Structure 1
Amino acid sequence: MSITIETINTTEAFKNLRKEWNRLLEQSPVQSIFLTWEWLYTWWDHFGADKTLHILLARDSSEIVGIAPLMITTAKRLGFRFRMLRNLGMPDVDVAGLIVKDGDQEVVNHFCQEIQNASRQWDILELGEFPNAVLDPQTIVRQFHEANYLSRLMPKLHTFIPTTGNWEDYYKTLAKHHRRSMRRKERLLAEEHKSVEYQRFNEGKVRPEHYNIIFNINAKARFPELYATESLRNFHLALAKPDVLQHAVDISFFLVNNVPIAFDYGFLYNQVYEAWRGAYTPRCSEYSPGSLIFLKLLNHNFTSGYLGVDLLRGEHDYKKRWRGYDRPFTLLWVVPRRKVLACAAYIWLPDLKKRVVSLLKRRNADSRDAEGED
C-alpha cells in the first residue's frame, strides 16, 4: 500500500466528494449518520462561514481509503483565543473521528503524521467522540511523540439498545418500578379521559410541518436555544430535503387530545435509530411524556424489525432505565508542548481540576465514615 495524503480546503472540492465519501463510509467500521457526506456538508453549508476546511484524504493510488473530516476554528478559553483543529460538525455531531476503509491502522498513522506536519496551523487538536472499538485512543496518542506533544483523554459511554428480539421479553427486563411508573401515567391519562396517540414519520415521510411542531414544543422546553435562530432552523429543514437526508430523518410525536406534547428526533441509518434529540411541553410533565414516547418508539422499533436504538452521547441516568449496554467512546485533545497557553488551558488545568475534585470526594467520604464510627 502506497498512501498519499491530500488536503481539501475549499467548499467546492468538498461538494464534489459525495459519491466517494459515502462509498468509503460503507466500508468503514464506524457507521453513523453524523459521518455521512450529506450531514456534514449540510452542516458546513450553514455554519462554516467563519471556519476553515481541513479535510484530509488518504489515497492508495487513485482510491480514497481514508477521510479525516476536520476543520480549523477559533476556540476561546481563559480569555485567550486558540486555533482548534477539530472534527467537522462539532459540537453538534454525536459521533466523530476518522473514516477508514476496514479500520486500517496504517491509514490512521498517516493521518496523525500529516496532522503533525501541519501543526503550525493549529494550537489544539480535538477528535471525538469516536468509538474505541474502531479507533484505539492509546494508539492514536502514541503517534504524537511524547517529547513534542501532550494529550488528554476523556472516556465517554454511548448506550445501545438492541431491538431484534421479542418486545415482551425486552419489556420484562425493565425495572418493576419503572414499568409501574409508566403504567400509572397511562392510567392518569385514561382517568382524565384524554385521548393518546403515537405518531412516527420516517423512511421519507418527514415534512417541514413536522419540524415546525418540534420548534414549537422545544421553544417552551429545557433547551429553547437549540432551534432559536433562523439559521439553526434552516439547517434542520435542509437535512430533510429529498436530495439530502429525507430518507433517514426520523421524527416521533406523542399526542394528548390531538395536540403534540413531546417529540423524539433522530435518524434511521442502517436500520438503527440514532436518537439525537427530544423534548416535551413542561406543563404536561405530570404525565412523563418523555418516558411514554420513548416506550412507544422502542415498541415500534421491535415490531418494525429495526436493529436497535443508539442513545448517542451524554451519560444521563435516564438512559440506564432502558436496559441497553454501554459502548466506550473517547474525546481526545492533543497540544504541542511549545504552545504553553494551550497546554495550560486544555491539558494542565483540566487535569488539576480533575485531581482536586477527586481529592475532595475522597475527603468527604472519609468524613462520613468518621461520623459513622462516632
Structure 2
Amino acid sequence: MARVLELRSLDALEGYRLVWHRLWQETRRADFFLTYEWFVTYWRHFGLDKQMRVLLVESDREIVGIVPLVLITRPASWGQIRTLTYPLDDWGGFYGPVGATPTATLMAALRHVADSPRDWNILDLRWVDRTRTDGLRTPTAMQQVGMLPIAQPWMEYPVIELVGGWDTLQQARPAERRRETERQLRRLKERHDVRLVRHRPAGGRGRQDADPRWDLFNACVALAEKSWQGRQADGTTLAHAKTRDFLCDLHGTASQLGCVDMNVLYLDDQPAAYAYNYVHQGRVLGLRTGYDPDFRAECPGAALIRLMVEDSCRRGDVEIDLGPGRTRFKNDWANRLAVSYRYTYYSDSFRGRLLRLRRWWNDRFSSQEDILARRSA
C-alpha cells in the first residue's frame, strides 16, 4: 500500500533532490517547470506568503512519484481564502505529478489530502493537460477520494507542431501569410546584415556543455527594458526587476539541465529582438519575447520567429509552444491550440460554500470563450 510523506520546508526537501531528478526524467512530457530546481527557486522568491505541501508517494520503500502543492492565502471581503494548488502561478502552461506512475501518484496524494485536517478552503488544480497527458485522471482521482470537482478550461496556448519538418509546415500555412513572411525577411536582409544567435546548452551532467551565455541573457534583458515592457510599473515582463531577478536565478540551473533556449536577432551586430524559451526533449516553451522599438518598422520580431522556427525544424524539435493568448504572429504560425484545464473542489466550510456559490454565479453568466479570453489575455 502506498504511503505519503508530506514535506513542508526546503531543508526537508533537500534530501530528495536526486530522487526528484530521477522521477523528472521518467515523467511523460516533462518540462523545466516540473524540476526540483524550478520549485526551489520559485519557493525562495515567492514562498514568503505561502506554505509548502510537497507530497512524496512511497511504494515498497521507494519514492515513485511527487505531487508538489502550495497553500496560498489571499484576502477577501469576507476574510482570508486559503487555496491548495500547484506551484506554477501561470509561469508555464501545464503542471501535474512528477514520475512514471501519475495515476497511482495522484490517487495516493489526493487521498492523503482528503484524509488530512483541512486548513484550506479550495483545492484548485489548475494547468492540467487533459488532452495529451492527464486524460480524466485528475477529476477521476478527486471524485474517488470524495472531492467532486468543478471542471473549467483555464488557458489556451497556440502551438507550432514541427513533426513534418519545414517544408510541410510552410505548405500548410496560408499562401498570403507565407509570402508576407518571406517578403519581410528578404527586405530586412537587403538593408541589414541579419544574424540569429541561438544558444541551447546540452547541460552539464555528463555532457559538460552548460555555458549560460550571460551576454545573451543580458541582451534579452536590455531589449525588454528598451521596449514597451520597460515602461510597465509592475507585471511579469523580463524588464520588471522581480521577474528579472527570478529568471536570472533560474538561468544558471536551467543551463545545467539543458533546458535553456535563447534567441537573439542581430541587425548589423546590434540586438534587435529576442525570444527567451525553455526546452526539453525537443519541446520549446516560449517564455518572454521583445524587440527594439527603433526597428519597429522593419518587424524584427517577425523575422526572429521565422528564423527560429526554421532552425527548430533543422534541429528536429517536436513543437514550439508560443505561450498563452492569441496575437497576430502566433496565429500566423500556430497549427494547433492546446488548452489547460482547472479542477476545483470547495470545502464544506461556510467560506467554502460561499466561494462555490460565487463560482457558480460567475460561470452561469459566462461562456467558455469568455472565460478563456479572460485567462489567456
Q: TM-score, normalised by structure 1?
A: 0.84
State the AA in 1 paired with 2:114: Q
Distance 1:47 1:180 in 2: 45
More divergent stretch after superposition (279-288 vs 267-276): 279-288
State the AA in 1 paired with 2:304: I
Does the alignment pair 1:273 with 2:284? yes
More divergent stretch after superposition (175-184 vs 151-160): 151-160
The secondary structure found in structure 2 opposite 1:227 is: coil
Does the alignment pair 1:106 with 2:104? yes
State the AA in 1 paired with 2:285: E
Change (3 A) 1:79 1:317: farther
| 2:316 maps to which of 305, 314, 319 | 305
State the AA in 1 paired with 2:181: M
More divergent stretch after superposition (7-16 vs 348-357): 348-357
Structure 2 unmatched ranges of 5 or more: 202-209, 371-377
Output the aligned Cα RMSD.
2.8
Cα deviation for residue 252 of structure 1 reads: 0.1
Deviation readout 1:3-51 (Å, 9 max, x if unpaired): 0011010111222222101211222224111101122222222222232
Change (3 A) 1:173 1:90: same
* Higher Rg: 1
Determine if contact 1:205/1:246 at 8 Å carries over to the other structure.
no
Does the alignment pair 1:254 with 2:265? yes
Distance 2:249 2:338 in 1: 30
Cα deviation for residue 328 of structure 1 reads: 4.1
Distance 1:47 1:205 in 2: 27
Distance 2:185 2:271 in 1: 16
Deviation readout 1:40-72 (Å, 9 max, x if unpaired): 222222222232111001100221112111111
User: Match of 2:140?
Assistant: 139
Structure 1 unmatched ranges of 5 or more: 362-374
State the AA in 2 paired with 1:121: D
User: Match of 2:63?
Assistant: 64
| 1:356 maps to which of 354, 365, 375 | 365
- Aligned residues with identical type, % of pairs: 21
User: Match of 2:72?
Assistant: 73
Determine if contact 1:86/1:126 at 8 Å carries over to the other structure.
yes
Distance 1:128 1:41 in 2: 20
State the AA in 2 paired with 1:129: W
Distance 2:189 2:81 in 1: 56
User: Match of 1:36?
Assistant: 35
Cα deviation for residue 264 of structure 1 reads: 0.8
Does the alignment pair 1:217 with 2:223? yes
Distance 1:75 1:18 in 2: 30
Determine if contact 1:75/1:82 at 8 Å carries over to the other structure.
yes
| Aligned length in residues | 353
State the AA in 1 paired with 2:284: Y
State the AA in 2 paired with 1:108: L
Distance 2:177 2:317 in 1: 24
Deviation readout 1:260-288 (Å, 9 max, x if unpaired): 12111112211222222212233433333
